[in-house]
Amino acid sequence: MINLETPKKHRALVDQAHQVAMNMLRPISRKYDREEHAYPKELDMLAAMVDGLSDSGASEGAGAAGVKRDEKAADTGVRNGANLASVLSIAEMCWGDTGLLLSMPRQGLGNSAIASVADEEQQERFKGTWAAMAITEPGTGSDSANISTTARLDGDHYVINGEKIYVTSGDRADSVVVWATLDKSLGRAAIKSFVVEKGTPGMRVERLEHKLGIRASDTAVIIFEDCRVPAENLLGSPEIDVKQGFAGAMATFDNTRPLVAAMAVGCARASLDLTRELLERAGVEIDYDRPALSQAAAAAKFLQLESDWEGARLLTMQAAWMADNRQPNSLEASMAKAKAGRVGSDVTLSCIELCGTLGYSEVELLEKWGRDSKILDIFEGTQQIQQLIVARRVLGLSSAELK
């Protein structure tokens, strides 16, 4: 049976993540927001600490387990594993700073793709790499199935051609997980993911984007021109299974969407915590034992925001728990992403409004969290796409039947 309280085995990890967020990320948050594209060197020491914990077995890394539908849990008991540990620790880190969390070495979204799709040999070979993930293309945003980047087999290499945009950590990462099609005429089933290591001839970072939020994180445009990648860098099976369709590639999202939902949960929690403190300073009491209608308007609004946030948190934990227990979680992953993405933006912007001039100015971090939160409702599938996926799953309709 699922229990959505923080498991005892993960409490020390969550406490450590909170201390890091408070003592290491918060103090440099404004600095790297202003110094866009400057690499946060302070994160190197933090990454070394995380590596040490992982090597000792004292901690489970972000997205380490992945989501593999064909696997069964080692026993019949309930498992609270790496996916749940990841969403809990990521939420705490984003309570500190989302952009800095996305800049963490070896914690890229591409790492989750490797964890979800790679075979055992590839898992070992790419262990320790910092992997970005390149899916979005010009003219191909939320419709990942319409990818036009091509991968052509030539001897023992694939030759990749195409352009990818909005690649998080695309310049800093050691490697990039690139989605490309083996045969455009075969549709979704021919889309595979490839690990392209930094420095591979034919791959170049064209530019870095200037952004509304998460400015500490680099977001790149990457061009592939006759980029030759070893055939063994294709993640999973090279066979095109028309019956399976897009399921193999989409398994990546079952893992990454709860992680992005956790980012939104953490960022929103930061806004709520600071807003409660500022309201109390202003003499607005928030009483959990009294109906909202009998309290000040600001207090009533705050209670509504907190209840929305709690729903997002529980959905996120459920999706991660199901992944740990090898239960199909595509529906729950999209529900968590949709709820948390929307709630993250609603909460952070509402907190700015509740705090007035303090919220809108740079005196506090509230305005920054409002800017940071918006991307969490967009990347890894927009709000509208998540709702469409949920509707298809609930109604039992295919993508062709419900567009």
- Which CATH code is given to the segment(s) 1-403? 2.40.110.20
Look at the block and give the residue holding tokens 């984003």. Answer: 94
Burial 114-130 (b: 16+ CB within 10 A, else e): bbbbbeeebeeebeebb
| Phi and psi at residue 318, to the nearest 5° | -60, -45
Q: What percent of the chain has pLDDT over 70?
A: 90
DSSP string, 276-297: HHHHHHTT----TTS-GGGS-H
Q: What percent of the chain has pLDDT over 90?
A: 72
Q: Is the pLDDT of residue 1 over 90?
A: no
Q: Which of 9-17's residues contact partners 24+ apart within 8 Å by CB, and which partners? A: 9/80, 10/80, 10/84, 10/85, 10/88, 10/89, 13/59, 13/60, 13/85, 13/88, 13/89, 14/88, 14/89, 14/92, 16/59, 16/89, 17/88, 17/89, 17/90, 17/92, 17/93
pLDDT tens figures, 275-293 = 999 999 999 999 999 999 9
Q: In terms of pTM, does the model score above 0.75?
A: yes
- Alpha-carbon distance of 366 to 349, in angstroms, equals 8
Q: Is the pLDDT of residue 61 over 60?
A: no
- Sign of the torsion angle spanned by Cα atoms 72, 75, 80, 81: negative
Contact 196, 233 (CB under 8 A): yes
pLDDT tens figures, 190-205 = 999 999 999 999 999 9
Q: What are the structure tokens assigned to 263, written together? A: 């980012």
